[in-house]
Amino acid sequence: MQVIDLIDQKGRATVAESNVPAIELIGVNKSFGPVHANKDINLVVGKGSIHGIIGENGAGKSTLMSILYGFYNADSGTIKIDGKATTIPDSKSAISQGIGMVHQHFMLVDPFTVLENVILGAEGGALLKDGVANARRELQRLADEYDMTIDPDAVVGELPVGLQQRVEILKALYRGADILILDEPTGVLTPSEADHLFRILRVLRDQGKTVLLITHKLREIMDVTDTVSVMRRGEMVASRKTAETSMEELAELMVGRSVLLEVDKPEVKVGKPLLKVEGLNVRDDRGVLRVKDVSFEVRAGEVLGIAGVSGNGQSELLAALSGITRAESGTMELSGEKLDLAGVHDAAEMRHKGMSHVPEDRHRMGLINQFSEYENSILGYHREPKYSKGMFLDKDAIRKEAKERIEKYDIRPPTTEMTAAKFSGGNQQKIVLAREIECDPDVLLIGQPTRGVDIGAIEYIHNRIMDMRAQGKAVLLVSVELDEIRSLSDRIIVMFDGNVVGERGAEATEQDLGLLMAGVNQEAAE
Amino acid sequence: MSKGQLPRWVDFGLLPALNLIAAFIVSGLVVVIIGEDPFEAVKWLVWGALGYGEGIGYTLYYATNFIFTGLAVAVAFHAGLFNIGGEGQAYVGGLGIALACLALDRFIPWWVTFPFAIAGGALFGAAWAFIPAYLQAKRGSHIVITTIMFNFIASALMVYLLSNILIPQGTMSPSTRNFEAGGQLPLLRNVFTSFDFGQSPVNLAFFLALAVCVVVWLLIWHTKLGYEIRSFGKNPDAAAYAGISPVRITIITMLISGGLAGLMGINVVMGEQTRLLLDFAGGAGFVGIAVALMGRGHPIGIILAAMLFGLLYQGGAELAFEIPTISRDMIVVIQALVILFAGALEHMFRPAVVAFFDRFSSDTAEA
């Protein structure tokens, strides 16, 4: 199957610089059973450039990168590295050909030091001593050259995510990578960490490295890349010079139609408070106080946004409110009923009282990946009478309802039998959202509603949240995306180090919120 | 189909078959090394287990034990719990059965005693599983360690009870008295007289085992409790999010698991021996682990795997008898090889098979 039709390129792959490209893919195909994940992909990435690959979840970006890094073997097509046709049967071969990859989920050993992580798999000999000394020198050189200072003896697990990612990059460079693939690198980063990452990427480019940046965030593409390719449904639909394109054009190319990036937020009459939290303190497993004396209320028909850099107590707040963990102290008033959060903690009970919860991490919490769609559609509600016949589950009723929701929420593919793991991110989120909204709650807790979700689905999810608001529900929205918080919320509170450090209206500027998120309280300063 | 996913028939049929064939090939080599003809050995093995009525009877008798213990391990597995204590739970369960029989056998017919014996076995087995379950759920003591330890405690406890308390006056062997007719399960050779089961001890407990398979299947895949058990086993965080209490599920699942193991005594104590005797479980609790693994936690798979191990037990005994150079220990080696390949080396062939099917499936997609 090495016969490739070169005529059908439509000039798509010609944007790169005229010298020999670092990477050239010609007619690459990859299928998983009936799913054609990559269709005749042509791609040219110029040497010493930052090339973005953008596309919705499930567009085939990760598959393509996995082919480049040797995780998958292409069914057909040619891969050229530095102009020479080659094969990449496994990641070892990818590394030896100068390709390094920084995964979305880091591949680091937490209890090891930075140095130990960097030499892992490249120890150089049976005794560690020489390897370690070498690595220390090399690490120092890399750090100087690329402006990536890091303490080689720091324990990785104790570093913030931004630095952990830096370790991943150093690992790749230590192995001699000339081509660096970064898969959704900013998903876990704060805005300032992301900026720093982009600075590093620019330095790398200026030193002659080639960077491939996989993302679904348009702003990042515009900020940092030189050239960009757009994927849609397994096909490479366009390549552009970043300077010659716009967010709107790229969004349209990704989705295949024009997208409304603004949310329509009609006036809604605000009612009585449905959720009232007072004096909430939460400790994590290690006994660290993560939420400090937080109080707020959310009224009917209101969206309260909680802004903040991730890791400032938002997750613990959601866990305590939804009954997953026990709070240290604090009370909650839910639709008029007062609950002691330090006493009861029962997620089933909270649901029963009319509070539903879309968790921040759908893979870890919101879904059971091995369960089929219809089984996931009742998670947390499986004891509801409408789903059961005595002690048995009424599978016909469950499937019937799951089918209705699939239709209503346009979940694709429209099947109740496929396991959750096989749905794309956006559709997984829709499964969770359908479950938590269709039970008609009074209060909706929703964490990172659009993390790892494609543009089409983002628009849909935002509209559903606005529907809840219009129906007079109280919505508590936690998100690290400031745009999202600002466009959806009626009021915004900002969390920093477990405290609520300020409250603003929806008209708050990004700078204002940004300062609050960084722990600088302007009002106090004035 | 995404990468690494296999069609069900491959996962549940082809892979176990490959593992089994590998185990038999290695076993065959061992037989060759000691200077015997492996094909001759296989012939005796299969003939001994399936070639005549009495052999079939013994095969089914052993399989019955393994179904109970296999189900016990599988149910715990669905909750992500590794219950190594099936042996001890079966042993103590036998005590419950014996007590029910000893109390009732002189007064009522066996079919009235039967439900009491079932309750006794399940209750005692469950009780023996409760302590490790409680320690895991509330104190975080690892269930693998505690259940192993409880096997030893069970063994010591039963030695004490049998040689000091339950032993009839004036006898020397550590066992209870023989149950009267009211404490004896009918043997199949007396029920199905048209089939020649010989002197084999297979009894009505076999049908109880099949019925329990149906119950477990319903429990795991069709009840709310089963849903919670599987949720907890697959993703404890999501279970917590769903309001499923880990303490409750850990304890309930282990109670069910221990109860299932406890039922094994119905077959041995009430069916074959008609008395409680020392060490009657004889390792069936451990074989149950292999059976559950090989049967992929599904009752149908467990029945098939239990039959296989029943065949090995019975056929192995016959083989040792017919070819004296292949001793009893050799049979244990063969069984160990099957456990090794089906259990511990379960994933040995998987990558190759996955690669094969990935290629195969992408070819068909392009065609």
| Residue A251 placed within a domain | yes
Min distance B234 CA to chain A CA atoms (Å)? 7
Does residue A51 belong to the interface with chain B, where contact is any CB pair within 8 Å?
A: no
* Res A124 pLDDT > 50: yes
Q: pLDDT confidence of A2, banded at 50, 70, 90?
A: very low
Q: Quick: pLDDT tens for B134-143.
A: 999 999 899 9
| Residues A187 and A154 both lie in one domain | yes
A35, A323, A364 member nearest B237 (Cβ): A364
Q: If 0-12 CB within 10 Å is exposed, 13-18 middle and 19+ buried, where does residue A279 land?
A: middle
Alpha helices (H) along A175-292? 191-206, 218-224, 247-255
Which 311-330 residues of chain B touch chain A by CB within 8 A?
Answer: none
Does residue A393 belong to the interface with chain B, where contact is any CB pair within 8 Å?
A: yes
Which of A282-291, A435-444, B160-169, B347-356 has the lowest average pLDDT? Answer: B347-356
Q: Quick: pLDDT tens for A143-153.
A: 888 878 888 88
Report if pTM > 0.80: no
Q: What is the pLDDT of residue A260?
A: 52
Q: Quick: pLDDT tens for B255-268.
A: 999 999 999 999 99
| Residues A100 and A222 both lie in one domain | yes
Q: pLDDT confidence of B332, banded at 50, 70, 90?
A: confident
- Which residues of chain A have a CB within 8 Å of the CB of B366? 1, 29, 31, 75
| Residues A246 and A311 both lie in one domain | no
| Residue A467 placed within a domain | yes
CA atoms A492, A493, A497, A501: torsion sign: positive
* Res B331 pLDDT > 90: no
Q: pLDDT confidence of B360, banded at 50, 70, 90?
A: low
Query: Rounded to an integer, what distance in angstroms lies between the CA atom of residue B213 and that of residue A36?
Result: 41
- Tally A–B CB contacts below 8 A: 97
With residue A397 as reference, give the H or E element that holds it.
Answer: helix A395-408
Token pair in block for residue B190: 């007396």
What average pLDDT does range A444-448 have in this prediction? 93
Q: pLDDT confidence of A343, banded at 50, 70, 90?
A: confident
* Res A23 pLDDT > 80: yes
Does residue A136 belong to the interface with chain B, where contact is any CB pair within 8 Å?
A: no
Q: What is the pLDDT of residue B178?
A: 92
Domain count, chain A: 2
Q: If 0-12 CB within 10 Å is exposed, 13-18 middle and 19+ buried, where does residue B40 land?
A: middle
Min distance A226 CA to chain B CA atoms (Å)? 33
Q: What is the pLDDT of residue A521?
A: 57
What is residue A502's three-state secondary structure?
strand
Q: pLDDT confidence of B336, banded at 50, 70, 90?
A: confident
Query: Are A382 and B242 in contact (CB < 8 Å)?
Result: yes
Q: What is the pLDDT of residue A17?
A: 42
Which of A327-331, A483-487, B40-44, B160-164 has the lowest average pLDDT? Answer: A483-487
Min distance A375 CA to chain B CA atoms (Å)? 8
- The more confidently predicted of residues A288 and B344 is A288
Q: If 0-12 CB within 10 Å is exposed, 13-18 middle and 19+ buried, where does residue A85 land?
A: exposed
In terms of residue numbers, what domain contains A359? 273-364+440-525
Q: What is the pLDDT of residue B295?
A: 87
What average pLDDT does range A317-321 have in this prediction? 94
A33, A324, A380 member nearest B361 (Cβ): A33
Q: Quick: pLDDT tens for A491-520.
A: 999 998 899 999 999 888 877 887 787 666
Query: Are B1 and A348 in contact (CB < 8 Å)?
Result: no
Highest-confidence range of A59-63, A189-193, B288-292, by mean pLDDT?
Answer: B288-292
What average pLDDT does range B2-20 have in this prediction? 73
Alpha helices (H) along A489-521? 510-517
Highest-confidence range of A123-137, A475-489, B145-159, by mean pLDDT?
Answer: B145-159
Does residue A395 belong to the interface with chain B, where contact is any CB pair within 8 Å?
A: yes
What average pLDDT does range A456-470 have in this prediction? 90
| Residues A228 and A309 both lie in one domain | no
Q: What is the pLDDT of residue B361?
A: 58
The last residue of one of the domains, among A195, A224, A255, is A255
Highest-confidence range of A42-51, B59-68, B286-295, B314-323, by mean pLDDT?
Answer: B59-68
| Residue A243 placed within a domain | yes
Dmax (CA) for chain B in angstroms is: 81
Q: Return the beta strands (E) in A341-442 as ranges.
A: 355-358, 388-389, 392-393
Highest-confidence range of A118-122, A145-149, A340-344, by mean pLDDT?
Answer: A340-344
| Residues A61 and A157 both lie in one domain | yes
Does residue A29 belong to the interface with chain B, where contact is any CB pair within 8 Å?
A: yes
What average pLDDT does range A424-449 have in this prediction? 92
| Residues A493 and A360 both lie in one domain | yes
> Per-domain residue ranges for chain B?
75-298
Does residue B367 belong to the interface with chain A, where contact is any CB pair within 8 Å?
A: no
Q: pLDDT confidence of A13, banded at 50, 70, 90?
A: very low
What average pLDDT does range A255-263 have in this prediction? 62
Which of A92-96, A197-201, B362-366 has the lowest average pLDDT? Answer: B362-366
Query: Rounded to an integer, what distance in angstroms lies between the CA atom of residue A264 and that of residue A266?
Result: 6
Q: What is the pLDDT of residue A510?
A: 75
Find the residue in A nearest to B240 (Cα): A324
With residue A490 as reference, give the H or E element that holds it.
Answer: none
| Residues A50 and A81 both lie in one domain | yes
Output the domain CATH number for residue A478.
Answer: 3.40.50.300
| Residue A506 placed within a domain | yes
Highest-confidence range of A27-31, A397-401, B33-37, B292-296, by mean pLDDT?
Answer: A397-401
Q: What is the pLDDT of residue A258?
A: 53
- Which residue of B218, B241, B358, B363 to mutate against A (max A Cβ within 10 Å)? B241
Highest-confidence range of A74-83, A303-312, A411-420, B96-105, by mean pLDDT?
Answer: B96-105
Token pair in block for residue B312: 């090995």
Which of A113-117, A328-332, A491-495, B250-254 has the lowest average pLDDT? Answer: A113-117
Q: Helix axis angle, B143-160 relative to B110-134, nearest 10°?
A: 130
Q: Quick: pLDDT tens for B63-85.
A: 999 999 999 999 999 999 999 99
Are B229 and B253 contacting, i.e. CB atoms less than 8 angstroms apart? Answer: yes
* Res B337 pLDDT > 90: no
Torsion of CA A15, A18, A19, A24, to 10 degrees: 30
Query: Are A366 and B241 in contact (CB < 8 Å)?
Result: yes
Which of A174-188, A248-262, B104-118 has the lowest average pLDDT? Answer: A248-262
Query: Are A392 and B224 in contact (CB < 8 Å)?
Result: yes
Are A247 and A219 contacting, i.e. CB atoms less than 8 angstroms apart? Answer: yes
% of residues, chain A, pLDDT over 90: 42
Q: What is the pLDDT of residue A15?
A: 40
Q: What is the pLDDT of residue A201?
A: 92
Contacts of B200 (CB under 8 A, 6+ apart): B53, B54, B55, B56, B57, B58, B60, B61, B187, B188, B189
Q: What is the pLDDT of residue A311?
A: 74
Does residue A371 belong to the interface with chain B, where contact is any CB pair within 8 Å?
A: yes
Find the residue in B nearest to A418 (Cα): B1
Q: Helix axis angle, A425-438 relative to A455-470, nearest 10°?
A: 10
From A65, A41, A49, A67, select the one nearest A237 (Cα to Cα). A41
Q: pLDDT confidence of B110, banded at 50, 70, 90?
A: very high
Q: How many residues does chain B have?
A: 367
Query: Are A392 and B231 in contact (CB < 8 Å)?
Result: no
Q: pLDDT confidence of A12, banded at 50, 70, 90?
A: very low
Task: Report whether the peptide linkage leading into residue A413 is cis, meaning its omega lies within 30 degrees of zero.
Answer: yes
A31, A380, A391 member nearest B224 (Cβ): A391
